[in-house]
Amino acid sequence: MSEPLELLDPEAIAKQVRLEVDRALKRNIKGLDFLVAERAEVGHMPKDALYRDGTAVLYRYRPLHGEIYRIPLLVVSPPSNRGYIFDLAKGQSFFEYLLQQGYDVYNLDWNPPRRDERGLGFDDYVGRFIPAALKEIEARTGEREISLAGYCAGGTLVTIYAAIEAREHLRNLITLATPIDFSHMHLFQTWADKRYFDVDLLVRELELIPPEIMLGAFDLARPANRTAGRVNLWTNMWNDEFVKSYRMFDRWAAETLPIPGHYFGQLVKDLMWENALTNGTLEVCGKTADLGRVTASILNIVAKHDHVVSHEATTPLMTMTSSTDREELVSKGGHVSLVAGPSAVRRLWPHIDEWLGRRST
């Protein structure tokens, strides 16, 4: 039973008051620091650029051990986001974790596309950039076999790559919060309702689709998040770790990238309206993407409270592919918590290591 009398314990009350006064002072001092602080530092693991083609950049993260797993791992970033989400800070970095476990880690990342890249689409992302990155990795390592991973739309791209022809060199496919069945992308289905959403107008007039267009949809779905986030920041202003983490995530969200108009048009028309990847009608590089062609081992990772990509949107990876080695993992937390966040460090990433290590020799 509870002990309400302790409420009146003068010692406890004094201790609580001292703590709150101390935190209030720290909030004011650190709050001023926060307002005048420069951009949060992100990305700390040493890396080398190996390939660049306009918006596409391939990085190799320098291995930390003298002995690494045979099969390299290529992680594809979503075209609308900076890849440093995988390497936020020491102790909060997915790549740091993988390097510590002995993986040879590559990241296909994206610079903001130039106006003359407005015509880039699936043919380029899937048929040009991913194969070029794989060719570069093979030339460096001598290894033809590869593990491919993708987060959010990056996962969709690697899945399409695996589905456009039989890829015997693709050993493992790791998808993190990856939409495949777009009929379950409820927020975006309403936002880009075929009857009212003039996607051609946007593509024609804007050429590069600014991030505000996409971020607006997220804000409408979760209107309280921004305000609640700031209130929580103020409450925790005394806590250096919280503030540091907040600033890094805030910078990442603020640096959402524009995307090429043609690619945006394909996302809306082919995937959102036609659900073409699930229906088996998506044409990329003159080939039909067929999930049945995917035979690699699959680890499908879903966030339990993901308001962007629902669990159902990822299920074709478990039901429509031909892989005989499939595993699904539902992790606590939201969309971003899979690739950055304390619970990922403690629970999810060790599981990924346990799964991938056995399949990387």
Partner 1 sequence: MGFNQGMTDKQFNPIEAWQEIVQRWETELNEWSSQITQSEEFGALIGQATKATVYAQKTMAEQTEAVLRSLNLPSKSQIDEISERLAVIEDHLAQLKLAVGERNPAPSAPEPRRTRKPAARTSGNE
* Nearest distance from C-beta of residue 75 to partner 1, angstroms: 18
Q: Which of 28, 183, 190, 322 binds partner 1 (CB under 8 A)?
A: 190
Structure tokens given for 158: 């690697």
Is 253 a binder of partner 1 (CB under 8 A)?
no
From residue 267 to residue 306, what is the string marking binding to partner 1 with x (rule CB under 8 A)? ----------------------------------------
CB 121 to partner 1: min, Å: 19
* Separation CA 160–CA 126 (nearest Å): 7
User: Per CB under 8 A, does 132 bind partner 1?
Assistant: no
Under rule CB under 8 A, residue 25 binds partner 1? no
Task: Tell the smallest beta-carbon distance from residue 279 to partner 1 (Å).
Answer: 22
Closest CA to 134 of 63, 65, 60, 84: 60
Indicate which single residue of 87, 96, 104, 181 sits in contact with partner 1 (rule: CB under 8 A).
Answer: 104
Q: For the window 311-350, what string marks contact with partner 1 as x by the rule CB under 8 A?
A: ---------------------------------------x
DSSP 8-state secondary structure symbol assigned to residue 47 = E
Q: Which of 159, 125, 156 is nearest to 321 (CA)?
A: 159
- Provide φ and ψ at 224, rounded to 5°: -85, -15
Judged by CB under 8 A, which stretch of 32-40, 51-59, 267-275, 292-300 contacts partner 1? 51-59
Please check whether residue 105 is in contact with residue 61, taking contact to mean a CB–CB distance below 8 angstroms.
yes
Q: What is the CA radius of gyration of the chain?
A: 22
Give yes or no for a contact between 248 and 93, defined as CB atoms under 8 angstroms apart: no
Question: Contact at 8 Å (CB) between 333 and 304?
Answer: yes
Q: Is 191 in the site for partner 1 (CB under 8 A)?
A: yes
Among 187, 253, 285, 318, indicate the residue that binds partner 1 (CB under 8 A). 187
- Pairing between β-strand 105-110 and β-strand 73-76 as defined by DSSP bridges: parallel
**HSE toward the beta carbon, residue 74, CA cutoff 13 A:** 31
* Least distance CB 190 / partner 1 (angstroms): 5
Nearer to partner 1, 73 or 89 (CB): 73
Contact 344, 303 (CB under 8 A): no
Q: Shortest distance, CB of residue 163 to partner 1, whole angstroms?
A: 28
The reply to whether 63 sits near partner 1 by the rule CB under 8 A is yes
Which residues have CB under 8 Å from 326's CB, separation 6+? 297, 298, 300, 317, 318
Strand partners, 177: none
Kindly provide the b/e burial profile for residues 271-284, where b requires at least 16 CB atoms within 10 angstroms of the residue's own CB.
bbbebbbbeeebeb
Residue 11, helix vs strand vs coil: helix
- Binding to partner 1 by residue 239, rule CB under 8 A? no
Stretch of residues binding partner 1 (CB under 8 A), selected from 119-127, 195-203, 252-260, 268-276? 195-203
Binds partner 1 (CB under 8 A): choice among 134, 202, 277, 336: 202
Phi and psi at 41, nearest 5°, equal -75, 135
Establish if 8 lies at the interface with partner 1 (CB under 8 A).
Answer: no
Contact between 186 and partner 1 by CB under 8 A: the answer reads: yes
Return residues touching partner 1 (CB under 8 A): 2-4, 6-7, 12, 16, 20, 23, 49-54, 62-63, 65-70, 102, 104, 114-116, 141, 143, 186-187, 190-191, 193, 195-198, 201-202, 205-206, 213, 217, 220-225, 227-228, 231-232, 235, 307, 350-351, 354, 357-358, 360-361
